[in-house]
Amino acid sequence: MAKVLMPVAEGFEEIEAFTIVDILRRAEIEVVLAGLLPGPVAGAHNVSIVPDTTIEMVNGAAFDMIILPGGQPGTDNLNADPRVHVLIKEFAANNKMIGAICAAPIILASAGLLRGKKVTCYPSYRDQLNGGIFENAPVVSDGTIITSQGPGTAVNFGLVIVTRLAGRHTSDGVSNAMLAQETPSDLWNPNLFNSIIQALLGALETKDSYTQGQARRVAEYCLSIGLKLKLPITEMRDLYLGAMLHDIGKYNTAEDVLNKPDSLNFREETLAREHTLKGTLFVVGINNLSHIGPTILHHHEHWDGSGYPGRLKGEQIPLHARIVAVADAFDAMISNRSYRDGINKETAVRELLKKKDTQFDPFIVDVFIECLNESPFEIKDFSYYF
């Protein structure tokens, strides 16, 4: 059974803390409340609780996740306690899950954990995320970090956490028992959304005959990696979208550059590289797509910082962009191009291994090679990820 730690300080937001604890305990997940000092702790609206223990007595190694409730001055009180920062950095170093709601993501920002990560928070704190990429959504997951916007999103936040810790079946069971209502899905047909994406790619492929089916193959590779990483369903959807549209910016690139049979000169290479910026502009401001902009923008960054356009390094590069980078490179190597023939799978794998720690995230390369060894990768229709 999973075990979760929730530190609480004077002025915490009661709805957030109580709702999350209640939902997790309904899922039979153990939750331990830890005060900064012994004795009762009063919330922002003068509701007091007696925590199970104090933060001084906590052994972080005994927990699978830490969750920080928001509220003021509770968030500032947690943020001012160095023991809280030690704990969350310990969880991050051990690749354990970290959750924060309302104002509390600024604590993660202060600890340097949000740079390059997709994150949400109470809107008035969006300028204090220290490099975090704000998304206006009730709950946002990026790797092991899950954030939420405020008291009104606490139920969704709790259910997402249950899904990650105990599985979708358990989360659905808790949700159904609580009569939690989801947004009606019949307002937007997901298959229609997917068909529009497919049509856009078809238009791109008419310009560049050498990319026929490339986005679909890259998307499948990426989703196989995502399944290995046990990404939640919403992240799988976003990974699919980012992979499908990662090269959409090439639509505005001259055909003679895309299909040139020999090496590009400096001017042509500059034009080709602009596709990441053009593709990002393509999705900016579009509901349900703008949040995948970082995947499109950064899928040519290199692990060692030598890529483009931002020369991001290591985990500064968004996770989805790192996944797309590996899948895209593999597909490019095994596919025929105007200037060369494709190489075989074994040679392409050797190239990926050769460029671990320089061009590619070494962990993602290892996961992808596991996927290649386990799946024949037949092209499928991934519309069910919407």
How many Å apart are CA 121 and CA 104, to the nearest integer?
8
How many Å apart are CA 157 and CA 88, to the nearest integer?
19
Give 295-300 contacts, CB < 8 A, sequence gap 24+. 295/238, 295/239, 295/241, 295/242, 295/243, 295/246, 295/320, 295/321, 295/324, 296/242, 296/245, 296/246, 296/248, 296/249, 297/321, 299/242, 299/246, 299/324, 299/325, 299/328, 300/273, 300/276, 300/325
Quick one: which H or E segment has residue 279? helix 275-283
Cis peptide before 309 (omega within 30 of 0): yes
**In terms of Cα–Cα distance, which of 63, 225, 232, 70 is closest to 144?**
232
DSSP 328: H
Ordered DSSP codes for 156-203: HHHHHHHHHHH-HHHHHHHHHHHTPPPPPSTTS-HHHHHHHHHHHHHH
Burial (CB count within 10 angstroms: exposed 0-12, middle 13-18, buried 19+), residue 9: buried
> Does residue 240 contact residue 223 with C-beta atoms inside 8 Å?
yes
> Does residue 189 contact residue 383 with C-beta atoms inside 8 Å?
no
Q: Which two tokens stand for residue 143?
A: 């790797």
Contacts of 285 (CB under 8 A, 6+ apart): none
Residue 371 annotated in active site: no
Choice among 102, 121, 222, 371 that is catalytic: 102
Which residues are marked as active site?
Answer: 102
